Structure 1
Amino acid sequence: MYHRVLTKSEVARYPVQPGMYVLDTVFAEQMSFVRRNFTVLSLQELLDLWQRGEWSAQARYCVITFDDGWLDNYRHAYPVLKQLRMPATIFLPTDYVGRNEWFWPDQMAFLWQAIADRKQRGEATKAVEEVLSGCLDGDMSCVIPTMADHQRAADEIIERCKHLPIDRIRKLVHTLASALDVTLPLDRVIVNWDEVREMSREGVSFGSHSCTHRIMTTITSDEVSEELLRSRQVLVDQGINYVPVFCYPNGNSDASIEGLVKASGYEAAVSVRMGLEGRGPENGYAIRRVGIHNDISDTIPLFSFRLFGPQPGSA
């Protein structure tokens, strides 16, 4: 499970959570390692193996997935996959495809960098504390960052916000931007449909990551169904290399949501639960994956340990 694949200059340009990326050079080395050591399957091929019961105990299977549909997947990951002729699946939040709008956690991280910069210059943060306190119902002064801990503070605020309704989060983001007199960035960071179609022709498949990227456990059942059905229809209508698998935003789900995913016509769903799957998944609507990011797997020995070391739920 990957999210972003970035160059060093891109990491320096905008704040990005450490658990959200690998460097492009690291990704290329990892894919070469996977190509040498695994039978790499498309996600549909894996589902077909499970359905037909043709799993080989002697094989070492691997499926490569990306969450969110970042533009850097197209710029940096896709050329490596194409050169090595390796399939992969990207899970798309369909409302964001081709748009300039950032996900709110990235907007928040951007704003938090601005707060940290002003804190370093000795500028007052009282207005920011008041905005946070008003929007999050509490004293937020404890997380107003110093330069040394601004990443931790940003992560803490983002985690708190994940439990809030999306309208409240958007209000907080825009109120903070206004208080700081900062313009939120509008660079396109998600793929567009032309890029999706190009990758589709070269072995990359696409599954649903909802429409709006809202966390499924924070919305009503009707809203969950709308996200599932509408995103699926968009992907089908685009005529791309579609795989009927859902990916839960932020990994949040429960038995009721899993039931809705199945009822909406999806053959499976992937989770963020760490672990391996064998000849058949323990739960086909909460398939385990191994999360890969730079700070824990930036060398091949670390990457290898991540893949082959003790895994929760492994046989």
Structure 2
Amino acid sequence: MDRPGSRLARTRGLPETAAVLELRQAVRAWLPAYAPGRAVAVALSGGADSLALTAAAVVEADAVDALIVDHQLQPGSARVAAAAAAAALRLGCRSARVLEVEVGGDGGLEAAARHARYAALGGARDGLPVLLGHTLDDQAETVLLGLARGSGGRSIQGMAAYAEPWGRPLLGVRREVTRRCCADLELTPHEDPHNSSPDFTRVRLRAEALPLLEDVLGGGVAAALARTAGQLREDGAVLDLLAEELLEAAAEGGDLSTEILATAPAALRRRAIRAWLLAGGAKALTDKHLRAVDALVTDWRGQGGVAVGGGSPGIRLVAGREHGRLTMRRR
């Protein structure tokens, strides 16, 4: 992860190059807002983004624990994880732990690996926020994936700077900057072959779709997508607050008054219904689910209940309408 004689092997200080300073400033701005205790964990893969983030965090935070997940999906993964842990200690991390996980097959390899990774990081963080190396480019890719799902503004809000316990200080930093930072620090990132495999949708977005959009639209697309995500997230926070107030007004025990819901604007009503369903145990809600439950309020014709994900074997979670109220039952 770093070459013999690296300046970071000799000192905790960092050279003041443009890339290094941009990384440090991003972490410095993030810490007071979301990690007032100034101790953090960093999810370190050994790639350029997480390696540069770790280097900046070591200087800006009071203490940094590196967490390295070994997915055990490729030959030599243990060696890569051990090298990342060694690099973390040379950079000045307080500790470096390798977390071995077994990746299942549910939802495809990409989703299963993500689930295993986040579960391992969550279990090993010891109450600390976990910094992730997601960049502005990752944010743009996430927005495009959300657009493809077509499930409304929430799906294109992108990733938050902090969603407990996950912190993303680099959402305003381009991926090319993290690579320059590693070069400036004489660090050699690990190149994960999965990150260049066209078998993964996100990789094709990165390698094909975004460059084409940048070319056709004259540049600035990634930044514009990330900026749009931020604006939608701000708008969404206000709508969520108003939807919470609507829920409180419509609540009748564990049910909801359809009369009160029907008088609310569609955007607030559906947000309130979504929050109510999630609180009741619903999972993997889709736009189709929400619109079907919304129809129980606005287009009532005596139709039956709507099954939503979140039940258990042999039992379905069903939203229905009874005596002018939205109900949620396990059947």
TM-score, length of structure 2 as denominator length:
0.28
Q: Which has the higher contact order (CA 8 A, sep 6+)?
A: 1
Larger radius of gyration: 2
TM-score, length of structure 1 as denominator length:
0.29
